[in-house]
Amino acid sequence: MRSFNFSAGPAMLPEAVMRKAQAEFLDWNDTTMSVMEMSHRSADYMALAHQMEADLREIMAIPDNYKVLFVHGGASLQFSAIPMNLTQPGDTVDYIDTGVWSSKAIKEARRFVNVNLVAGGESNPTKIPDASEWKFSDDAKYIHICSNETITGLEFQDAQLEAVFAQGKPVIADMSSNIMCRQIDVSKYAMIYAGAQKNIGPAGLAILIVRDDLIGHEREDCPTLMKWSTYAENESMFNTPNTWAWYLAGLVFQWIKELGGIQAIEAINQRKAQKLYDYIDASNFYHNRIDPSERSWMNVTFELPSEEMNAKFLEQSKSAGLLSLKGHRAFGGMRASIYNAMPEEGVDALIDFMQSFALQHA
């Protein structure tokens, strides 16, 4: 039996996807070999890769003037690749700092360009700085945001995103932990990037969605494998890709299509998050620190009354088949990551467990 795994990433994958992968593990598509064992340039594998990209384009409604690139190095490599592809030395860029992941992106960008901090900068904020306090620079080449801070569970909301788009600059978003959790208008962004290991597939793959006009302006000293143009010109196969991760991502995209697309997932995600936050708010045993209007749909953090309780909760939840609920050490407490693959029954089981634990220990 599979447990409910609330890990922030690598995270739970849909059971149907894992079963399909298991069934075709040794013999994929009647090739009598595993998909892991075949050349990435074979006709069979190329067909898989093309289908995978087509399915992603369909479910996210990616316009034709955007390239989809499948890259190595995780989302973190893009922290440096973004300034290397979009700026020259001496340029200025705008970053909004809403937590650990935006801070890491800022730290890396500072190696290459002048970073103007639009707002934020305190450690682990529980609220996105008020838009009235944002200080954009006139000459920024782009604006960077992390649309969902995975560690705290702090997510940009529509009004804040609109305020960012209103600047009329290319907007770059790290969507590692909330890509495909709801419908978005890709055309409002210049570039979207995400590590795969949460809502896409296994670790070892990152997906970039880049508007055509942003490609090909990299610095002269940009390494070949960090240039977006290298991936764009070579169907992301300049060198050997992570063939297994691409395959599993493809199965996840098919699973989303079969469920009714991101529209259907969005409704489930909203329900899952709402019921968990409603329960936490109604309880006087658990507490969530994030501003209620900016809470993440994907990463729900909460704390118990003491460290001793936190430890007991972790031990007992694990025995109940509810895994990986420990919060990130930088923020403490618990974190339930409820990505697309987490079934609603998993959230129900967590709430039931939280109720009985609180009854026993309050």
| Contact in structure between 9 and 337 (CB atoms under 8 Å) | yes
Q: Which of 313, 265, 188, 240 is nearest to 70 (CA)?
A: 240
* Strand ranges inside 22-168, DSSP E: 66-71, 92-97, 114-120, 143-146, 148-149, 154-155
Stretch binding ligand PLP (CB under 6 A), from 13-21, 174-182, 264-272, 303-311? 174-182
Stretch binding ligand PLP (CB under 6 A), from 57-65, 157-165, 171-179, 265-273? 171-179
Q: How many residues does the chain have?
A: 362
Catalytic residues: 101, 174, 198
Is residue 11 a contact point for ligand PLP (CB under 6 A)?
no
Cβ atoms < 10 Å from Cβ of 113: 21
* Least distance from ligand PLP to the Cβ atom of residue 37, Å: 25
Stretch binding ligand PLP (CB under 6 A), from 73-81, 127-135, 208-216, 311-319? 73-81
Is residue 202 a contact point for ligand PLP (CB under 6 A)?
no
Quick one: which of 48, 93, 115, 146 contacts ligand PLP (CB under 6 A)?
146
Is residue 204 a contact point for ligand PLP (CB under 6 A)?
no
Flag whether 76 is marked binding. Answer: yes
The DSSP annotation for 255-271 comes to HHHHHTHHHHHHHHHHH
User: Which helix (H) or strand (E) is 232 found in, with range?
Assistant: helix 228-233
* Least distance from ligand PLP to the Cβ atom of residue 324, Å: 13
Is residue 294 a contact point for ligand PLP (CB under 6 A)?
no
For residue 313 the two structure tokens come to 């909760």
* Least distance from ligand PLP to the Cβ atom of residue 150, Å: 3
Instruction: Give the span between the Cα atoms of 30 and 52, in whole angstroms.
Output: 19
- Pseudo-torsion of CA 317, 318, 322, 325, nearest 10°? 80
Q: Which residues lie near ligand PLP (CB under 6 A)? A: 9, 74-76, 101, 146, 150, 174, 176-177, 195, 206
> Residue positions in the annotated binding site for pyridoxal 5'-phosphate?
75-76, 101, 150, 174, 197, 239-240
